[in-house]
Amino acid sequence: MSDKSLSDFLREIGDEQITITIDGYPYTCTRQEALARKMYVLAYGGVVEEQAEDGQMIKIYYKPDYRVAKMIREYTEGKPNTELPPEKQGNAKAGSFDSSISKRLNEKLGLKRPVVKGKP
């Protein structure tokens, strides 16, 4: 039995060096840095070229995901939100998409809230 916790193992694995491709050039970094770069692509969208198993380069297109952008902002500010306060929870689960952000995005995109029949 090991005296290490899961977070200890994750830190060790995160510190391992790997090689990724950025703009067609190999780049050596830690797994943690590679994960952070992937999170930024997921947050803001973009095109990533990756090598398929058969050796061909393929382009993968990502749409912006505002939840990932929110998570990056919270972690870089040093205050990740893992649980909503009780007055804002309602039907939301911990770690779910913040309804105020969802509301603002819907207003910005001109989307209307769905009407649920049978509820006031």
Distant-in-sequence, close-in-space partners of 22: CB < 8 Å, separation ≥ 6: 37
Closest residue by Cα to residue 22 from 43, 45, 44, 51 = 51
Domain range holding 55? 1-75
The predicted-structure confidence for 84-113, as pLDDT tens digits, reads as follows 556 555 555 545 555 566 666 666 666 655
pTM greater than 0.75 (yes/no):
no
Segments of 2-120 assigned E as strands: 17-22, 25-30, 46-51, 57-62
22 and 67 assigned to the same domain: yes
The predicted-structure confidence for 16-53, as pLDDT tens digits, reads as follows 999 988 877 889 999 999 999 999 999 999 888 877 88
47 and 103 assigned to the same domain: no
